[in-house]
A = this chain, B = another copy of it.
Amino acid sequence: MNHLKETTKTSEKLFSGRIIDLYLEEVELPNGKTSTREIIKHPGAVAVLALTKDKKLVMVQQYRKAMERVLVEIPAGKLEKGELPEATAKRELEEETGYTTQSLQHLISFYTSPGFADELVHVYYTDDLHVLEEKAELDEDEFVDVLEVTLEEAQQLIDEQRIFDAKTAYAVQYLQLKQALQK
């Protein structure tokens, strides 16, 4: 793949945040010319496709400041330093929904915005949920509503653009595919 590779000439960290860091890099292109790349470094995240015993999808509704609107998403959260993705998935499920599970199946991992960011999301599946006796605490700057919806209702939320993000669209489509293959 060397005919595609870009080589770093300089890399400058312009911002170091709580969640993201920003780098401006000067790169040498495959043809020897120079260009710049704006790059966001992110710790990575997890998401959980969680189904209740009556086959409802557990969703969280929260305000997303980047879009200035409320979105309905599957439970998710960013990786903490040194935490394994599966542990993060269980913790986020507990904090955001009040459910816990002993059984998480890894479905897929994907980069969300490969053009400018290295955020990798690990998506897990569970249909073995138990209500926590004592609800876990959300982060102090996190406010969410929990929704439980059928697959048909989830599709309607997509049509209404209330479900409006890649990982949740992928998760809903995953269930539609699973259902279609079972028929």
CB distance from A145 to the nearest CB of B (A): 7
Interface residue tally on A, bucketed by range: 35 or more
Asked if A84 is at the interface (CB within 8 A of a chain B CB), the reply is no
Main secondary structure of the interface of A (DSSP, over half): mixed
Segment with Cβ contacts to B, from A51-59, A95-103, A125-133, A165-173: A165-173
State the oligomeric state as a number of copies.
2
Which residues in B have their C-beta under 8 angstroms from that of A41? 66
Residue numbers of A with Cβ under 8 A of B are 1, 3-6, 8, 14-15, 17-20, 22, 24-25, 27, 29-31, 33, 35-42, 45, 61-67, 70-71, 73, 76, 78, 108-119, 121, 140-141, 143-145, 158, 161, 164-170, 173-174, 176-177, 180-181
Bound: A112/B114 CA distance, A: 10
